[in-house]
């Protein structure tokens, strides 16, 4: 199977703004959500490209990464502690009035590709059922 390129204009749309809040937000997203998982805008473009080649009108990716920790103190002594990480990526594809979703708690290119494939299959099944 030949590699699929990103849709026209995709890289420009994700490119950081020259200055200001947009550049700061994109930099934060890159540092926290993409770089640690060996992802970049080129990889995301290929995922979008693979989704949008299958009669899908619109698609988006939703990344989540939450880290929390808590401590319970009693009279200055640590009595308990907790730490958790919640992470994942959701893929949404819209075709006409139908919407398909897929999710993975693994943020990686293979997981993104699998979620994209599942979303396309759901969207295709919705088209056949109408």
Q: What is the pLDDT of residue 24?
A: 84
**1 belongs to a structural domain:** no
3-state secondary structure of 102: strand
Residue 3 maps to a domain: no
Instruction: Evaluate whether residue 81 is within a structural domain.
Output: yes
pTM (two decimals) = 0.69
The answer to whether residue 15 is domain-embedded is yes
3 state SS of 105: coil
pLDDT tens profile 99-118 = 899 999 999 999 999 999 99
For residue 79, the enclosing domain spans 10-129
Q: Is residue 4 part of a domain?
A: no
* Inside any domain, residue 2: no
Tell me how many domains the chain contains.
1
Q: Comparing C-alpha atoms, which of 96, 97, 103 is closest to residue 119?
A: 103
Phi-psi region of 75 (alpha: psi -120 to 50; beta: other; left: phi over 0): left
Is 100 inside any structural domain? yes
Query: Which of 8-12, 80-84, 99-103 has the weakest average pLDDT?
Result: 8-12
């Amino acid at each position: 199977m030949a590699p699929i390129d990103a849709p026209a204009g995709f890289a420009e749309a994700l490119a950081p703004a020259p200055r200001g809040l947009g550049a700061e937000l994109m930099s934060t997203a890159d540092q926290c959500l993409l770089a640690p998982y060996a992802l970049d805008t080129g990889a995301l473009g290929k995922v979008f490209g693979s989704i949008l080649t299958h009669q899908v009108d619109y698609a988006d990716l939703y990344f989540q990464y939450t880290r929390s920790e808590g401590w319970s103190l009693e009279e200055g002594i640590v009595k308990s502690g907790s730490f958790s990480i919640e992470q994942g990526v959701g893929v949404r594809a819209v075709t006409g009035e139908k919407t398909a979703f897929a999710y993975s708690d693994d943020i990686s290119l293979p997981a993104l590709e699998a979620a994209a494939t599942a979303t396309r299959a759901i969207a295709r099944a919705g088209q056949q059922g109408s």
